[in-house]
Amino acid sequence: MKIQLLLFASCRDAVGAKELVLDLPEGTTAAGLRDEVVSRYPRLAPLKEKLLIAANAEYVDGATVLKDGDEIALIPPVSGG
Mean pLDDT of the chain: 94
Domains and CATH numbers, the chain: 2-75 (3.10.20.30)
> Residue 55 half-sphere exposure, CB side, CA atoms within 13 Å?
18
20-49 pLDDT per residue, tens: 999 999 999 999 999 999 999 999 999 999
Element (H, E) at 15: helix 9-15
Give yes or no for residue 81 having a pLDDT over 90.
Answer: no
